[in-house]
């Protein structure tokens, strides 16, 4: 048997036999930001629940055979984070990747730091903590070797799973040193020696294969949907078709006669704002998923639709349009937009309105959770972005201490923001509570459930008004958003975008324009509004980026040239100067708005696409760009529009500057996937309501891009791999510029301006 040197305080306290442990006096390392004055504002990771943890005792253990086990504390939903962050640790500690095992952490933010895989934060917040974890582990191994040989630690160094003493040529493997290393003190923050960039073996290179790659190809990877336990029962829920609706009465007698159906469980409807609470309804519990679905079909239910029963997307669009044409709540004000507009001759004014409907996330794995309650404890197996939120929801439901709820995180079959909301885990807990003690319940959402009851991307009208003078200078810019807010999820009746939405490409625009005004219309929400990959950047960037192309056209200038002039020279802007006091929670000093980097991605995308080249008949190139989640992106789309108005995407060039590039191959994968998701929403996807109900139900009417419509060519251009810069996000930033680039390309090809998504065909 291999004795594992578990660098863990818990094991030390347990004093387990055969486990060599480390006598630690400090609780590990304190990140610089956390050590800072407690009165200072908290930014970034430090403002998140759990903050960051960079204690090697928590993340690394080494077995006597040299196997290094590294904890992946964040859930994998397709970005590659389960590989990237452990890879960073391995690199810093000089562990050979072939001898690394990755284990997935349960929900425990006290132990691991923040675990919410949301907001493109994983590498942004944990690159440096994971580097410190790896460096600390390496230095402990080096100190152990130096002590063993009685040589100064300065004479030894860790190299590829061994520590060398160069003067004598002696060497010891990590496994041989594990026990001694565990007895070394954890280096203090100022004693840590991080690797120089040229010494990286894995960071910034594509040598490491994804940990789940082979298992996925063989069908062996285990997703939340794949959870199985002895005696498990399956549940599906009939939910109110209208948000806020309630059960009036139901007859379950037929459902109970369906073979395999075991029980019906009423799910209480939420009180107050929806938040992450279940919608309510009736759960059908059965011996297998099919029986549960059949049982649900046999339920006879009368619903009380409540106040949202008249929600209708056609009428609501008119409401948004009307709201966008009158003054709204002020978000940013500079100069005097009203005066500039009033004074400008008609010929110098330009106004346009842009529409994007609700969107559903539609991850390929619908929401699913398995819960078992026994002996005053609950165990949860699920695929969620935010395990701590799932833990809190179940603990609240079952009136347990969070510590009595174990949340085991399985692979996510996609997330895109949907799976950060644990309503489905709460539902599973309600059903498990109604079953005999110890019965594992797997609660499955069908695709219809997912489309009908998603936390939808908002629906929006964005109105832009500009004054552009005879020399093509933009003198005034008004951006007014009319769009139900995410805040309505948490505060009943909340209206108008919050700074967290407006600071996603509405207020924080850096253009050299003397008069700027950004407003939000206070419109009510009639659906659950959630966050969808890149969130409010989607409608804001769509509108602003199309509008800039329209202004360039009006000025008779090349779009690229016009945009670069509008952005102005390279400079670092304090977000506060643009009324952005949020800045994705990051420090304005660390993360200013850098127009030089924005210019850089525009140039890279245009160069990749051959901007300005001669194009075949019916083809057009369109450009758009965006700053989001601390990264800079630009997209150039080439389209071909045929005589019938059919749009074909020929090629997409995606440029991204996310600062240091940790796993470039996965960054490119996110850029490719972002291009496809952006094209999906631009060309195909729409959720609409009638009588308060979502009209679409599955992939036949909620369409997403398929192979056929997918572009032949997606070129990715990574710009500015600079480890002096703080890391930016990668998962979300590729999405926002895609739809406007497409519409700008359609205009270039046809002279027709599309201001409403999805495009479908060009009339």
Partner 1 sequence: MTHLQVNGQTRKVDVPDDMPLLWALRDELGMTGTKFGCGISVCGACMVHIDGQPVRACVTPVSAAAGREISTIEGMEADRIGQVVQQAWAENNVAQCGYCQAGQIMTAVSLLKTTPAPTEQQINDAMSGNICRCGTYPRIRAAIEQAAGSLVSGGRQ
- Chain residues binding ligand FES by CB under 6 A are 78, 364, 414
Q: Measured at CB, which residue is nearest to ligand FES? A: 364
- CA–CA distance, 319 with 323 (Å, rounded to integer): 6
> What is the CA 562 to chain-centroid distance, rounded?
32
Interaction between residue 738 and partner 1 (CB under 8 A): no
698 binds, among partner 1, ligand FES, none (CB under 5 to 8 A by kind): partner 1
218 binds, among partner 1, ligand FES, none (CB under 5 to 8 A by kind): partner 1
Angstrom distances, CA of residue 296 to CA of 78, 237, 288, 364, 446: 32, 7, 13, 22, 11
Choose one: 282-290, 306-314, 482-490, 573-581; the region binding partner 1 (CB under 8 A).
282-290
Choose one: 72-80, 109-117, 486-494, 574-582; the region binding partner 1 (CB under 8 A).
72-80
As measured in angstroms, the least distance from the Cβ of 446 to partner 1 is 6
Backbone dihedral angles phi then psi of residue 593, each to the nearest 5 degrees: -85, 115
User: Which stretches within 439-524 are classed as H helix?
Assistant: 447-452, 499-502
Residue 53 and residue 28 in contact, taking contact as beta carbons nearer than 8 Å: yes
Q: Which residue among 700, 724, 751, 763 contacts partner 1 (CB under 8 A)?
A: 700
As measured in angstroms, the least distance from the Cβ of 685 to partner 1 is 11
Instruction: Please give the structure tokens belonging to residue 381.
Output: 């197996």
Residues with Cβ within 8 Å of residue 346, at least 6 apart in sequence: none
Element (H, E) at 735: none
* Smaller CB separation from partner 1, 411 or 719: 411
Q: Which residue among 43, 112, 202, 416 contacts partner 1 (CB under 8 A)?
A: 416
* Smaller CB separation from ligand FES, 254 or 706: 706
* Smaller CB separation from partner 1, 233 or 567: 233
- Residue 596's DSSP bridge partners are none
User: Which stretches within 166-246 are classed as H helix?
Assistant: 174-183, 213-218
Eight-state DSSP code of residue 508 = -
Interaction between residue 681 and partner 1 (CB under 8 A): no
Binding-site size for partner 1 (CB under 8 A) equals 66
* Smaller CB separation from ligand FES, 552 or 667: 667
Identify residues 544-563 at the interface with partner 1 (CB under 8 A): none
- CA–CA distance, 461 with 477 (Å, rounded to integer): 16
- CA–CA distance, 221 with 214 (Å, rounded to integer): 8
* Smaller CB separation from ligand FES, 218 or 249: 218
CA 53-55-58 angle, 5° bins: 95
- CA–CA distance, 384 with 411 (Å, rounded to integer): 8
* Smaller CB separation from partner 1, 414 or 575: 414
Interaction between residue 490 and partner 1 (CB under 8 A): no
289 binds, among ligand FES, partner 1, none (CB under 5 to 8 A by kind): partner 1
Interaction between residue 234 and partner 1 (CB under 8 A): yes
Rg, the chain, Cα only: 27
Q: Please identify which residue in the block is written with the tokens 């954890």.
A: 186
Choose one: 181-189, 325-333, 409-417, 421-429; the region binding partner 1 (CB under 8 A).
409-417
Identify residues 240-269 at the interface with partner 1 (CB under 8 A): 259-260
Residue 50 and residue 115 in contact, taking contact as beta carbons nearer than 8 Å: yes
Interaction between residue 212 and partner 1 (CB under 8 A): yes
Choose one: 220-228, 401-409, 516-524, 629-637; the region binding partner 1 (CB under 8 A).
220-228
673 binds, among ligand FES, partner 1, none (CB under 5 to 8 A by kind): partner 1
Eight-state DSSP code of residue 40 = S
CA 512-516-521 angle, 5° bins: 145
Neighbour tally for 319: CB within 10 Å: 15
394 binds, among partner 1, ligand FES, none (CB under 5 to 8 A by kind): none
- CA–CA distance, 338 with 495 (Å, rounded to integer): 24
* Smaller CB separation from partner 1, 81 or 93: 81
Q: Please state the length of the chain.
A: 763
Strands (E) in 515-555, as ranges, are 515-521
As measured in angstroms, the least distance from the Cβ of 211 to partner 1 is 11
Residues of this chain that bind partner 1 (CB under 8 A): 76-80, 209-210, 212-214, 216-223, 225-226, 228, 234, 259-260, 288-290, 293, 362-366, 411-416, 444, 446-448, 665, 669-670, 672-677, 680, 698-700, 704-708, 710-714
């Amino acid at each position: 048997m291999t004795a594992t040197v578990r660098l863990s305080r818990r094991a030390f306290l347990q004093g387990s036999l055969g486990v060599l442990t480390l006598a630690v006096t400090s609780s590990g390392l304190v990140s610089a930001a956390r050590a800072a004055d407690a009165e200072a504002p908290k930014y970034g990771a430090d403002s998140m629940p759990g903050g960051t943890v960079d204690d090697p005792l928590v993340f690394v253990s080494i077995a006597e055979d040299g196997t290094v086990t590294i904890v992946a504390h964040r859930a994998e939903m397709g970005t590659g984070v389960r590989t990237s962050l452990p890879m960073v640790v391995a690199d810093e500690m000089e562990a050979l990747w072939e001898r690394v095992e990755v284990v997935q952490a349960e929900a425990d933010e006290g132990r691991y730091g923040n675990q919410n895989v949301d907001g493109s934060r994983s590498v942004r917040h944990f690159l440096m903590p994971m580097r410190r974890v790896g460096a600390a582990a390496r230095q402990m191994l080096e100190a152990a070797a130096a002590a063993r040989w009685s040589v100064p630690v300065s004479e030894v160094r860790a190299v590829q799973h061994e520590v060398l003493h160069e003067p004598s040529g002696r060497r010891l493997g990590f496994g041989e040193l594990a026990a001694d290393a565990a007895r070394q003190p954890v280096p203090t923050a100022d004693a840590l020696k991080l690797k120089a960039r040229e010494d990286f073996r894995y960071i910034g290179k594509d040598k490491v294969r994804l940990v789940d790659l082979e298992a996925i190809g063989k069908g062996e990877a285990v997703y939340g949907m794949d959870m199985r336990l002895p005696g498990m029962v399956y549940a599906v829920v009939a939910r109110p078709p209208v948000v806020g609706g309630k059960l009036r009465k139901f007859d379950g007698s037929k459902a109970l006669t369906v073979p395999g159906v075991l029980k019906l469980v009423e799910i209480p409807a939420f009180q107050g704002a929806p938040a992450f609470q279940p919608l309510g309804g009736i759960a059908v519990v059965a011996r297998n998923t099919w029986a549960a679905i059949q049982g649900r079909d046999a339920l006879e239910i009368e619903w009380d639709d409540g106040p949202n029963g008249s929600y209708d997307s056609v009428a609501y669009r008119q409401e948004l349009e009307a709201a966008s044409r009158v003054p709204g709540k002020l978000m940013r004000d500079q100069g005097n937009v009203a005066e500039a507009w009033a004074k400008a001759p008609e010929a110098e004014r330009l106004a346009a309105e842009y529409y994007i409907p609700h969107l559903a996330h539609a991850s390929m794995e619908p929401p699913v959770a398995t819960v078992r309650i026994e002996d005053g404890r609950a165990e949860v197996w699920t695929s969620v972005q935010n395990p701590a939120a799932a833990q809190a929801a179940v603990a609240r439901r079952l009136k347990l201490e969070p510590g009595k709820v174990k949340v085991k995180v399985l692979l996510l079959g996609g997330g895109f923001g949907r799976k950060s909301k644990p309503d489905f885990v709460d539902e599973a807990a309600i059903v498990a509570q109604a079953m005999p003690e110890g019965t594992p319940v797997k609660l499955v959402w069908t695709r219809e459930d997912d489309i009908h009851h998603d936390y939808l991307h908002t629906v929006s009208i964005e109105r832009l008004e500009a004054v552009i003078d005879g020399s093509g200078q933009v003198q005034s810019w008004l951006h007014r958003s009319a769009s139900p807010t995410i805040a309505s999820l948490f505060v009943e009746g909340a209206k108008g975008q919050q700074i967290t939405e407006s600071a996603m490409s509405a207020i924080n625009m850096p253009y050299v324009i003397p008069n700027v005004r950004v407003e939000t219309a206070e419109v009510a929400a009639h659906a659950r509004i959630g966050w969808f990959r890149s969130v409010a950047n989607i409608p804001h960037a769509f509108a602003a980026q199309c509008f800039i192309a329209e202004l360039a056209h009006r000025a008779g200038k090349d779009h690229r040239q016009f945009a670069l002039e509008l952005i102005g020279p390279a400079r670092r802007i304090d977000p506060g100067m643009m009324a952005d006091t949020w800045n994705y929670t990051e420090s304005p000093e660390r993360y200013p708005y850098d127009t030089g980097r924005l210019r850089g991605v525009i140039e890279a995308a245009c160069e990749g696409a051959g901007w300005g080249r001669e194009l075949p008949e019916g083809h057009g190139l369109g450009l758009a760009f965006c700053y989001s989640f601390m990264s800079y992106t630009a997209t150039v789309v080439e389209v071909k529009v045929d005589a019938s108005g059919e749009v074909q995407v020929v090629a997409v060039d995606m440029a991204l500057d996310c600062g240091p590039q940790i796993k470039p191959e996965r960054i490119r994968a996110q850029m490719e996937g972002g291009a496809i998701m952006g094209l999906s929403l631009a060309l195909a996807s729409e959720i609409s309501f009638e009588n308060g109900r979502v009209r679409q139900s599955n992939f036949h009417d909620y369409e997403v891009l398929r192979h056929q419509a997918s572009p032949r060519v997606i070129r990715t251009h990574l710009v500015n791999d600079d480890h002096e810069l703080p890391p930016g996000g990668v998962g979300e930033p590729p999405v926002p510029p895609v739809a406007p680039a497409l519409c700008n390309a359609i205009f270039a090809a046809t002279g027709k301006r599309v201001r409403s998504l999805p495009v479908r065909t060009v009339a």
